[in-house]
Each structure stands twice: as C-alpha cells, then as structure tokens.
Amino acid sequence: MVKDGLLITFEGMEGSGKTTQIQRLSAVLSQAGYAVCVTREPGGTPISEEIRGIFLNPNHNEMESTTELLLIAAARAQHVSEVILPALDGGKIVISDRYSDATVVYQGYRCGLDLNLIHKLNRIAAHGLSPERTFVLDLPVEIGLKRVQQRRSAMNRLDLEDFESHNRIREAYLAIASQEPDRITIIDAEANVDSIHELIKSEVDDLLRTKGVERKL
C-alpha cells in the first residue's frame, strides 16, 4: 500500500510527556509547510472516542482482557479508515498518540493475551498500515505515575493499576523497541523537554528527506 503521507506514532507509559512532544513536533512541521494531522488512540473519530470512554471508564473494573482487545481493535478499524488513510492519501504527516504497538504492550504483555493473535488483529484493524517511525518515551514508573497524579483531574481505569502492571508495560516497550530498532526509537523522557524535541525533530527531518514527503505550502 503506497501512500503519499507519513505515519509517525508516539508511545510510552502514562506521564511520559507524549502530548507535549506531539504538540511541539506538529507545530514545527506545520511552520515548515507540511500538512499535519494529529490524532490519538483509542479515539480520533466520534465512534472511536465513544469506545475510548467505555475502555477507560474507571468503573469498568470487571473488563476482561479479550473485551479490551476487541474494543481497541474496533476503535482502530474505524480510526484508520475514517481518519488515518484519507490523511495519508492527502499527503499529510499523521502523528498518532499511540497505535498498534500499544496493543502488543498493553493487551499482549500486560494482559498475557496471545501475541500472534494480537498481531493478526492489528493487521486487520489497521488495514495493514504500520508506522514509518515510532518514538517510545521511556521513564521510571514512579516518576510517570507521580506526573499523572499531579496532572490528571481524574485517573482512568489503566492509570489506577498497580506498580507491577506499569512496570510490565515499561519493560514491554523496551523489549519491542529492541526487536525493531530501525523503526522504534527509545527516548529518555527524563531529559529536558527542549532537547527531546530537538532529537525527535532531527530524526523526523531525516525521515522526511528519505521518503520525499512534499511540503504543501
């Protein structure tokens, strides 16, 4: 599937600073004349945002792992076909706050669901679309959780899980990054916000040059 645009994703545990870095990258790319689409998972469309509400509702303690996986897959199928593919067809740089790696980490490593099944479902839900580059913002669990507690007005269902679960998530991101070093870049999220931005920007600049993505303005 050849597309004109480019899909870049951000991953990492809660409190890792993804949102700030996505905003900074989006601003600098827009200023440089690129058409940018910022989106998130689960979410990004009205249907997928409704699914997000069900998925993250802190009252849904009884949610089963398989239910999680199918909700996420449904949200992604809608998101990819309604938002991501049309944006890529239009030559946009799509920046998604989480994507299919999160399913491998959260529903695979965290819940213990079969990784082959997850990869298969990811391919179906994502219409075979993989990110060109993924930035994983990594930091110690205790620091991430402290940031979340300070920032969020209400904790969501996954924020409220125990330390062990969050630690499994961190380790899983590091593991999948080591399996795909050409696509996934690990970033030290404890570093200064400006220096993280510069690092991401320079990798994205290289990528845009290599892929020949055109400026729109």
Closest of 13, 8, 33, 38 to residue 23, by C-alpha: 38
106 binds ligand TMP (CB under 6 A): yes
48 binds ligand TMP (CB under 6 A): no
- Render the burial of 28-41: b for 16+ CB within 10 Å, e for the rest: bbeeeebbbbbbbb
108 binds ligand TMP (CB under 6 A): no
Put residue 136 in one of left, alpha, beta given phi > 0 → left and psi -120 to 50 → alpha. Answer: beta
41 binds ligand TMP (CB under 6 A): yes
Nearest approach, Cβ of 72 to ligand TMP (angstroms)? 4
Sign of the dihedral defined by the CA atoms of residues 19, 21, 12, 195, in that order: negative
Nearest approach, Cβ of 125 to ligand TMP (angstroms)? 9
Nearest approach, Cβ of 118 to ligand TMP (angstroms)? 9
Among 47, 74, 158, 186, contact with ligand TMP (rule: CB under 6 A) = 158
78 binds ligand TMP (CB under 6 A): no
135 binds ligand TMP (CB under 6 A): no
User: From residue 154, how far is each of 44, 47, 58, 93, 158 by CA, in Å?
Assistant: 21, 22, 9, 31, 12
CA distance 58 to 53: 10
* Assigned token pair, 202: 């320079």
Contact indicator for 4, 132 with CB cutoff of 8 Å? no
* Assigned token pair, 58: 């802190």
Among 3, 79, 92, 98, contact with ligand TMP (rule: CB under 6 A) = 98
Among 72, 126, 139, 187, contact with ligand TMP (rule: CB under 6 A) = 72
Task: Pick between residue 64 and residue 212 the one whose CB is nearest to ligand TMP.
Answer: 64
21 binds ligand TMP (CB under 6 A): no
Task: Pick between residue 3 and residue 98 the one whose CB is nearest to ligand TMP.
Answer: 98
Task: List interacting residues with ligand TMP (CB under 6 A).
Answer: 14, 40-42, 72, 98, 102-103, 106-107, 158
